[in-house]
């Protein structure tokens, strides 16, 4: 977002499994969240998280951004099926 550093207006796109990285960004409108709820959707974080004083990593880890983290039951099924395949 700094025009002195980003002279050509480039866009950085990355994916992370480390939600604390999101806390490094002051603005919510430059972060997009991909969710899998009855199909895959993309939403701007600013439409989901209205307040800037909430840590983005806390919102993610608490499950507030539902559809972004695997459900426990699905994880356990995957784990059991992988263990069965190794037998």
Tens of pLDDT along 34-44? 877 777 888 88
Can you give the pTM of this predicted structure? 0.59
> How far is Cα 20 from Cα 22, in angstroms, rounded to an integer?
5
Q: Residue 27: which domain range?
A: 19-86
pLDDT band at residue 16 under the 50/70/90 scheme: confident
Judged by DSSP in three states, 27 sits in: coil
How much is the average pLDDT of 15-30?
Answer: 82
Judged by DSSP in three states, 31 sits in: coil
Inside any domain, residue 75: yes
Domain count of the chain? Answer: 1
Inside any domain, residue 14: no
Inside any domain, residue 8: no
Q: Residues 47-65: pLDDT tens digits?
A: 988 887 788 888 888 878 7
């Amino acid at each position: 977002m700094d025009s002195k550093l980003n002279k050509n207006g480039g866009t950085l796109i990355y994916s992370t499994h480390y939600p604390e990285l999101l806390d490094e960004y002051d603005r919510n409108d430059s972060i997009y969240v991909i969710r899998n709820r009855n199909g895959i959707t993309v939403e701007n974080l600013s439409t989901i998280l209205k307040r800037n004083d909430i840590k983005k990593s806390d919102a993610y880890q608490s499950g507030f951004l539902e559809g972004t983290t695997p459900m426990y039951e699905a994880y356990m099924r995957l784990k059991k099926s992988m263990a069965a395949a190794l037998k």
